[in-house]
Amino acid sequence: MSDVTPAAEHVRLEVEGGVAVLRLTRGKLNALDAAMQRRIGELAQECGRRDDVAAVVITGGDRVFAAGADIKEMAGLTHAAMVAHSGVLQGAFTAVARIPKPVVAAVNGYALGGGCELALCADLRIAADDATFGQPEIKLGVIPGAGGTQRLARLVGPSRAKELVFTGRFVGAAEALAMGLVDQVVPAADVLATALAWARQFVGGPALALRAAKECVDRGGEVDLDTGLEIERVQFAALFATEDRATGMRSFVEQGPGQARFSGR
């Protein structure tokens, strides 16, 4: 008997050439059940720890990124059960958002509900020209529970986020690009390759500086300007203790820009 759990089969981590691909593979819809949610969080933390991972790509199938949570499973939960599980759900997605490395979502087809929320956890979203986004939880009598009311509002603004959450309507790729929900739209056949190419540029890069940059932007967006500037000042000064800083500046002086070979230390 195999000791591989269904969650391990449905959420896979593939690492090659410094890029990790977090792949959702649960049937046609990639409905995110509780086991998958936990697995996503675990693998996100693993990506953060691994020295052989410079950047992360999150992707689903060719036709569906993830069509949301597993509603059949969710329908059977009591209030007490969801009080307990909601923290697990948010924690798993927050783990993705806090991977201290560049993260890109490669979105084909539907990214709805929890699928849209998972894409929102990435630093960048590359979508197929036929991709569809939405937070339709309101039609189930609930609201987004994995960060949709928060990350969406920070990305597209409160008014647009409210309209999408209040109505639960779907958004095509062109509209998603116009409102800033996605960053790039490409033909469906090119989504994963485009995302991988974006991620590969960070292999061999200054890992500590990339980590600091991400933390400054993310944390700075949660606080007032003065506090954000202090976060930046501390991170900027701290990087002067790194080997990469010395390497980068020496290379610039001796060879010109863009020639440095970093160690990630």
- What is the C-alpha to C-alpha distance for residues 179 and 158, in angstroms, rounded to an integer? 12
- Sign, CA torsion 27/32/38/43: positive
Residue 102 contacts residue 202 (beta carbons within 8 Å)? yes
Residue 47 contacts residue 53 (beta carbons within 8 Å)? yes
Question: Can you point out the beta strands (E) in 115-186?
Answer: 124-128, 132-134, 170-172, 184-186
Respond yes or no: is residue 117 known to be catalytic.
Answer: yes
- What is the C-alpha to C-alpha distance for residues 59 and 39, in angstroms, rounded to an integer? 15
> Which residues on neighbouring strands pair with residue 78, listed in sequence order?
none
Nearest to 151 by CA among 194, 108, 122: 122
Choice among 9, 73, 137, 232 that is catalytic: 137
Respond yes or no: is residue 137 known to be catalytic.
Answer: yes
Choice among 46, 117, 163, 232 that is catalytic: 117
CA atoms within 13 Å, Cβ hemisphere of 26: 25
Catalytic residues: 117, 137
